Chains A and B, each alone.
Chain A
Amino acid sequence: MNENDVRAIALFFFYALLDDQMAIEAGARALNLAKDKKRKRPELANAVALVQSTFEIWQKEEPEARRMSMVRSLNPGWSLPDGTDLSPWREFHKQSDSDEIVIVIWSKILGIPEAEIANALELPEGTVRYRVGHALRRLGELTSSRPNIV
């Protein structure tokens, strides 16, 4: 796992958990898990190992993340592009179910190809694409109502 993979894991949990401390802890666990997977199966693509490990840790952390949603803290050290507002994402995070959130992060934020996501989750690629499309419509409702966000 290279530096880009570590950064991708950090981004994943930052957007999935919306809490710095939890993101660091979950990220460290996911990275170790991904390394373990690579050690056991060296032929495994980094993206597949990343999706599998982040998904496993996310499934464990999600209940706690939902419970702690009122006391989240985000480090101002994160640098977002100018003019980018996180409020639509927060709203989307509240409204959407778990599958949509993680699939959108992998596919649209981290840029992992849908075929590899489907391979990692053992799902048909069409299912992945359908979920992404569905999630984009929901998020689009939030972003298009605030034209100055993007």
Chain B
Amino acid sequence: MEKHPSPIPLSKYGKRELSPFAAGELLYDYHLEKLDSERAESVRDVLGKHAHLKRDLARIQSADLYLSLLGKARPPADTVEKIDEPDTYLSVLLKKTNYERWPLTIRWGIEAAVVLCVFLVVLIVMPWNQLLNMGLSPQGREIILAEMDHGSRNAFDDGLTPMFSDESAGFEDEGVKPLPTSTTTADVVVPSIPAVATTGVTIPQVQLPVVPPAKTPPPAATVVSSAKEAKPVAEVPADTSKKPGEGALYRGILKVTNLDATGLKIIEKIEELGGRKAGQVELGWKKTATSSYFHFTMPQAKYDELISFLAAYGSPRIQKEKHPRVMPEGIVRLIIEVEEAEK
């Protein structure tokens, strides 16, 4: 029986010959020694005949050796630590949002907004008023209404009735000239004010000497001279529970259209509400041609009424300031400047 010829072209030894192309594709496997012995022998045969395949094999071997050397590299310890360190909330957030890949303009915008917010928060939170008061010259910006000598509190202990003592203080901004006097503070006779206040007996007004600021005795030692000023409310002793320097002063500005007429009405109203002048100038003192000066004390209960009265003539801007002078309980001290509104 005749043997059927094989469809695959075989060599005369019965082996299948490998083409150079196929051998080239098997070179990597040949290099790794993953071919069976028959295939490996076939590749070897082709390599012997084709120099370019030999060159390719040499390249594969060279690259393999080179890469095995690269694989022996050791990363710095800190690099490994950084890769392995736990994430913070911020880093997780940045990674989740892919912040690094956002457009540069948006990132800059966000960063600028954050800086602006921080700036605004600082601007709002910082107690600028106190800082300015501390930083700037106090003589240049504040009006010294009175100076209280805390060391002279013994005067209260001696039985003297503590009174408002604004009159004894020197006011640099009031521009008052000291009244001529031939008496001294030692000559002042202290009237029995509580009795006057309760009985309502009018006492003839006594012209008290005005002591120059430099020689001002402790405020507690000075007295109020008029009967009007001797209302019971004025006799309430200063709140001793408050520490020195915890007092307050209401300072404000009111702009009106007719200063002369309005000034008189304001004086009337202040007096009607039980207010009385403080300092050395009369209520409504013409500080300049276009402004009047009202420095007075009044019952705190009447404060709102006064403000609503003033609001009828303009927009009073009054703010409460800390002041070393401590007022008696229920009494507030105000300095209001009424100015002619610009037309």
Contact = CB atoms under 8 A, between A and B. Distances in A.
Given A10-B83, A11-B73, A11-B75, A109 B63 contact: no
A150 B69 contact: yes
Nearest to A135: B63
A132 B70 CA distance: 16
- Chain B CB within 10 A, most for which of A24, A31, A78: A24
Interface size class of B (residues with CB under 8 A): 20 to 34
A95 interface: no
Given A23-B79, A29-B95, A137-B59, A150 B73 contact: no
Interface in B23-70: 25, 27-29, 56, 58-70
A7 interface: yes
Interface string A3-39: 1001101110011000010011001110110000000
A3 B82 CA distance: 13
Contacts of B85: 28
A143 B55 CA distance: 13
Contact of B69 (A11, A23, A84, A139): A84
Contact of B64 (A10, A136, A149): A136
A79 to B, nearest CB: 5
Interface string B68-92: 1111111110111011110100000
Given A24-B82, A27-B83, A133-B60, A80 B73 contact: yes
Interface string A120-143: 000000000110110111111101
Contacts of A27: 79, 83
B166 to A, nearest CB: 71
A108 B67 contact: yes
Interface residues of A, number: 45
B283 to A, nearest CB: 75
Interface of A, helix, strand, loop or mixed by DSSP: helix
Contacts, number: 118
A130 B29 CA distance: 9
Given A24-B79, A88-B66, A144 B59 contact: yes
Contacts of A138: 63
A115 interface: no
A104 B65 CA distance: 12
Given A11-B73, A137-B59, A150 B65 contact: yes
A6 B59 contact: no
Contacts of A15: 70
B240 to A, nearest CB: 66
B73 A132 contact: no
A77 B78 contact: yes
A81 B59 contact: no
A110 interface: yes
- Chain A CB within 10 A, most for which of B68, B70, B74, B76: B70
A42 interface: no
B75 A81 contact: no
A147 to B, nearest CB: 9
Interface of B: 25, 27-29, 56, 58-76, 78-80, 82-85, 87, 95
23 contacts: A6-B80, A9-B83, A14-B73, A24-B82, A24-B83, A28-B82, A28-B83, A77-B78, A77-B79, A78-B76, A80-B72, A81-B69, A81-B72, A81-B73, A84-B73, A129-B28, A136-B28, A139-B59, A140-B60, A140-B62, A143-B62, A144-B58, A150-B66
List the 8 shortest-distance A-B pairs measured between CB atoms, nearest first.
A140-B59, A133-B28, A77-B76, A140-B63, A108-B67, A139-B63, A27-B83, A136-B63
Given A28-B82, A136-B59, 10 more contacts: A6-B84, A109-B67, A133-B25, A133-B29, A135-B63, A136-B28, A139-B67, A140-B60, A143-B65, A150-B69
